[in-house]
Amino acid sequence: MEILLVGTFHLSDTSDLNTLSEKDKSKYGDSDFEKLAGDLAKFQADQVFVEYPFHLQEQLTSIYRSQEVEEINEGFKGNEIFQIGFRLAKMLGHNTIYAVDWNEQPEESIDLGLIAEGQSKTEFNEIMNRIQMVIGKLSSIIQQGDIIELYKYINSHEYTVNDHQVYLDLMQLDDEIGFDWVTKYWYYRNLKIVRNIKKSILPETKRAVILYGSGHNYLLKQQLEDDKTIKVIQYGDWSE
């Protein structure tokens, strides 16, 4: 089967680093997300997978089927699942949208923030600052206001590799916290996500879209393609 992998910024409040500022987010409205969803719809996916807790599938289905009801949380209406995922699935006439996330604390709690207080704090801060610089480089694309160009770029090979380098650098810090966090939480989380995706693929599915925070792109592609029956296409490389 074919999977179109679409990394996204988080559009609602989150601690994730792949998040646009309020000023930048304000540049994109309903018509922009409709345009992006319309482009993704050309892939003609049979299923759409999103970053929502796997064990809350029934809740997500309920929200999806009643999205016009006023009681839906306003914060949820602002995030990428609603703005992009729901629009896409509705365009395709899907009865539901699929929750595949796992984001829980490992048995042994690992606080990445402790590095900022430890022996590797200088190197850690340099890594964090580099992330902000990369996001800052997007400003020229954001100023142009073309949402498809923006999403093509954050799903490009260049952006994905540079983003993943952060995790590789964290593993090399003298603090073992960085190594433990990347291996016991970050890699573990992505393996759980891939497991959930594969559990959720219907027998008749030939094509699917995965909409996820762009920081996951590298590992999701790598781990999904370990299954030789799956071909992953990054949105940055895809054309109809």
pTM for this prediction: 0.91
Structural Rg of the chain based on CA atoms = 18
- pLDDT score recorded for residue 125: 87
Segments of the chain scoring below 50 in pLDDT: 69-70
Is the CB of residue 48 less than 8 Å from the CB of residue 98?
A: yes
Please tell me the predicted confidence (pLDDT) of residue 222.
98
Handedness of CA 37, 103, 155, 197 (dihedral sign): negative
Which pLDDT does position 19 carry in this prediction?
64
pLDDT at 129: 83
At 25 the pLDDT is 73
Give phi and psi for 216, each to the nearest 5: -85, -10
Q: What is the pLDDT of residue 68?
A: 56
Tell me the residue length of the chain.
240
pLDDT of residue 132: 74
Tokens at residue 121, please? 């704090």
